Amino acid sequence: MDIMLADVNEKLARGQAMDLADAAWPSSHRVRYADIQEAGQADLIIITAGARQKPGETRDDLLDRNHAILQSILDGLKPINPKAVLLMISNPVDVLTAIAQHITELPKCQVFGSGTLLDSGRLRNYLSKLINVRQTSIHCHMLGEHGDGQFVGWSSARIGGVKLDQFPEMEMVDKQQIEREIARTAYSIIEAKGATYYGVGVCGAILATSVLQNSHDIQCVSCYSEKWGGYVSTPAVLCSNGIDRVLELDLDEEETAKMENAVARIKDQTRRFIQ
C-alpha cells in the first residue's frame, strides 16, 4: 500500500512521513510526503485537517474555522480523481461531510464521514464491560449528529439477537447517564493528555480498510440518507465505492424526533455555507 501525507505545513508532513516510514518497513508499506495535487489522485482521500478542539470548546465553535480550511483543501485537490472516495474526519464531521460532497460534486455514495463510529464504539465498550460480552457481538448504535446532538438507538439494540433491555444488567441502568458519560469521553481525554488521536486513528484506518478491501461490513458513519434527506450518522454498508447502502433503523417515537432534529440541525449549519 502507498500512503501519501499532505499538509499545509510541509516540514511537519515530511517529518511524520519519515517517522511513519520507520514503522512501515516491516510490513513493506510505503509512506511518503506528497503535495495536495497528487493527493487528489488517490483512490481514498482522508481529511483530518482542521483547527483543534480546545479544552471546553464545543464542536460547533469549530465550524467557522474549519469551513475555510476545507474550502482551501478541496480547491487544492482539483482536479479530483472522479473515482476517489472521500472520508471526512475533521469536526463538525456531519456538516463538513455534507459541504465536501456539495463542493466536490462527487457522487453522494463516494463521500462519507467517520460520524458517530467512535461514539458507537464507546457505547459498545461501556456495554461490553457491563454485560461481559465482546463488543463485536453488541449491536447498538449512536445516531444523529456527532457531537451534542447524538443519541443512542436503544430500541433497536440487540446482543446475540436478544433485545438489550432483556438483559438483567440493564435493569438498574440510567440510560441518560450513560449517554452523558460517553459524550464526555473526548473531553476527558483532552483534559488528561491534550488531544485525542489514537482512538479516532484506528477508526479512520478501519474505515479505510473497509473501502480498500471492499469488505461490505457495516459501520455507523455519516452518510447521505434518502429517508431523512440529508447527511447524518446511521449504519451503512461499506464498499470500494464508499457507501453501498444505508440502513434505515426502526426508531421509536422519541428517537425519530431526535433524528429529525439532528438532520435539521445539520442542514441548517450546511445552508450557511452552501449557496
CB nearer to other proteins: pick between 141 and 265? 141
Active site residues: 146
b (16+ CB within 10 A) / e for 235-244? bbbbbbebbe
Shortest Å, Cβ 133 to other proteins:
11
Cα 24 from Cα 217, distance rounded (Å): 26
* Options 74-82, 96-104, 172-180, 190-198: segment touching other proteins (CB under 8 A): 190-198
User: Which listed residue (1, 2, 8, 15) binds other proteins by CB under 8 A?
Assistant: 15
User: Which listed residue (48, 71, 81, 128) binds other proteins by CB under 8 A?
Assistant: 128
* 136 binds other proteins per the rule CB under 8 A: yes
* 188 binds other proteins per the rule CB under 8 A: yes
User: Which listed residue (37, 68, 148, 198) binds other proteins by CB under 8 A?
Assistant: 198
User: Which listed residue (41, 48, 81, 125) binds other proteins by CB under 8 A?
Assistant: 125
* 124 binds other proteins per the rule CB under 8 A: yes
CB nearer to other proteins: pick between 170 and 189? 189
CB nearer to other proteins: pick between 51 and 130? 130
* 212 binds other proteins per the rule CB under 8 A: no
CB nearer to other proteins: pick between 54 and 193? 193
CA-to-CA dists, residue 139 to 163, 169, 250, angstroms? 10, 16, 14
* 18 binds other proteins per the rule CB under 8 A: yes
List contacts with other proteins (CB under 8 A): 11-12, 14-16, 18-26, 28, 118, 120-122, 124-125, 128, 132, 135-136, 185, 188-189, 191-194, 196-203, 205-206
